[in-house]
Structures are given as structure tokens and as C-alpha cells.
């Protein structure tokens, strides 16, 4: 009987762990999408305010706005965005160790077709905050 009970407890813990990770990933993705929505709408102040200190340290609010505008100025409006990859990391180059979830989206822009956007939220004091953003051609 103890073996069966042990197996049941192990299965329950594994199930709980998978559920907790899925919940965490959902929160991280919601933070990434909210940040992208602010960028899409030209609300760079909001995006900067909700960013991780990892992103804020090298970029002032104005620098973030100028950088995003320069990179995306010819793309036009976002027509579609679909998550195509998710990766959980505990370290990132040039950043402190911690919990990171890297999301890659295939994003369709009005004037430039599809691009890959990579957004990386970092868990800081229980809150997911975007720590990096890249956009590139697929």
C-alpha cells in the first residue's frame, strides 16, 4: 500500500508542477503581449514603465521610443501576431540569473510582410517584465 500511495503522491506533484509552469508561462505571455500592444500603439512611455530594469538600464524612455520607431517605422501596422516558440531559460547573455521565458512571434506587418519578434519577460519580485525585444526578417 505505501508504494501505491507514493506513486499517487508523485503523480499529483508532477501534475501540479506542470500546471504551475503552464500558469507561469501564461502570465509571462500576457506581460509580453501587453508590452507589445503598448509598442504597437506607440505608447512607449507605458512600455518603458512596465519594462524590466534589465531593459531600462541601457535605454532611457526616449531612447526606447527612438529605437522602436527606427526599427519599425516602415513596417506599418501589425496585421497579425502568432506565437511560434516558447523557451524557458534561467540565464541570458549579459543578464543576471533568474526566470526568463523567451517568446518568438511570427508577426505580419501591413507594409513589410512577416517578421519574427522575440520578446523575453523576466520574473522580478513575482511580476513578469520584458527584458529584451528583437525584430527580424524570418
pLDDT digits (tens, 9 = 90+) for 79-136: 999 999 999 999 999 899 999 999 999 999 999 889 999 999 999 999 999 999 999 8
**Could you give the CA distance from residue 21 to residue 88 in angstroms, rounded to a whole number?**
10
Share of the chain above pLDDT 70, in %: 82
Residue 54: closest CA among 104, 126, 120: 120
Question: 108, 122 in Cβ contact below 8 A?
Answer: no
pLDDT band at 17 (very low <50, low <70, confident <90, very high): very low
**72 contacts 51 by C-beta, under 8 angstroms:** no
Amino acid at each position: 500500500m505505501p508504494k501505491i500511495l507514493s506513486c499517487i503522491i508523485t503523480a499529483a506533484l508532477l501534475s501540479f508542477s506542470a500546471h504551475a509552469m503552464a500558469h507561469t508561462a501564461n502570465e509571462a505571455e500576457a506581460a509580453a503581449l501587453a508590452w507589445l500592444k503598448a509598442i504597437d500603439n506607440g505608447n512607449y512611455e507605458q512600455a518603458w514603465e512596465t519594462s524590466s530594469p534589465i531593459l531600462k538600464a541601457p535605454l532611457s524612455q526616449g531612447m526606447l521610443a527612438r529605437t522602436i520607431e527606427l526599427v519599425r517605422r516602415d513596417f506599418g501596422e501589425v496585421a497579425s501576431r502568432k506565437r511560434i516558440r516558447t523557451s524557458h531559460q534561467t540565464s541570458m547573455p549579459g543578464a543576471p540569473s533568474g526566470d526568463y521565458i523567451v517568446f518568438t512571434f511570427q508577426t505580419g506587418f501591413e507594409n513589410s510582410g512577416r517578421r519574427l519578434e522575440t520578446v523575453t519577460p523576466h520574473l522580478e519580485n513575482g511580476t513578469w517584465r520584458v527584458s529584451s525585444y528583437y525584430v527580424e526578417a524570418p
